[in-house]
Amino acid sequence: MPNGEAGKEKGVALVTGAGTGIGRAAALALLADGWRVVLTGRRAALLQDTALTSNAGTRALVLPADVTDPDAVRALFDQVVQHFGRLDLLFNNAGTGAPAVPLEELSVQQWKSVVDVNLNGMFYCLQNAFRVMKAQAPQGGRIINNGSISAHTPRPQSIAYTATKHAVMGLTKTAALDGRKWDIAVGQIDVGNARTELAQRMTQGVQQANGEIASEPLMDVEVVGQSVLYMANLPLAANVLFHTVMATKMPFVGRG
């Protein structure tokens, strides 16, 4: 079981969206720290690259899956238990966005696509993590949901992403409450401007609340990986309910 103490055996983690960006950084940080990590996502080649980069050998297990498919998610969690015997940590990270267009121009399909990944997929993973963590011995575990600073303050023309990230906050609060009696600790990490492929456009200029276009600073995505690792290594008697990590000079505090 994970307890954050040097020399102790680390637990079993499942990271969704582990092939790129924040998921990859978190998976690499966990593997470097001695965790056994299941890497999941839709693109097997990217997951394999994460596994190879880690040099973690058999502690890294690639299991591709689509989090928007509830049957595939249930099968994924069953495979984790079959292979490693238990699950101590879920980093519920997979997410997507929609084009930055006026909300009246957002298509129904674009809306549903974001909801299906960011909200439905996160719920399916959360639900199955509860199922596994309640049944195993020792009982319990930790779930870290990837929110976003958009769970608190929106950007212009981001209604699908922002609405789903606000909903993730509801998932986190409710699951944290429901998980207490099962020793399941649920928290959320809210990230602002980490250097990933998705966020690279920030350096070229993005719309601000006053309508101006301005470039924004980025922080190294490895900082986010270390933040996830810190939360993961806490004893189950302690929980970080909400953790915000962001580029220091990004225009978030005072936005609008």
**3-state class (DSSP) for residue 3:** coil
The catalytic residue positions are 161
Residue 172 lies in a domain: yes
Distance in angstroms (rounded) separating the CA atoms of residues 188 and 89: 13
Residue 200 forms part of a structural domain? yes
Residue 88 lies in a domain: yes
Contact 143, 168 (CB under 8 A): no
* Domain that includes residue 74, residue range: 12-246
In a domain, 1, yes or no: no
Residue 254 maps to a domain: no
The pLDDT tens digits of the residues spanning 71-106 come to: 999 999 999 999 999 999 999 999 888 888 999 999
The amino acid sitting at 54 is S
Q: Is residue 79 part of a domain?
A: yes
Q: Please count the structural domains in the chain.
A: 1
Q: How far apart are CA 64 and CA 50, in angstroms?
A: 13
CB atoms within 10 A of CB 201: 12
Alpha-carbon distance 228 to 240, whole Å?
A: 10
Asked if the structure places residue 159 within a domain, the reply is: yes
CATH number, domain of 101, equals: 3.40.50.720
Q: What's the pLDDT tens digit per position in 2-45?
A: 444 443 568 999 999 999 999 999 999 999 999 999 999 999 99
DSSP 3-state assignment of 80?
helix
Distance CA 193, CA 137 (A): 39
Confidence (pLDDT) at 144 = 98
- Provide the whole-model pTM: 0.90
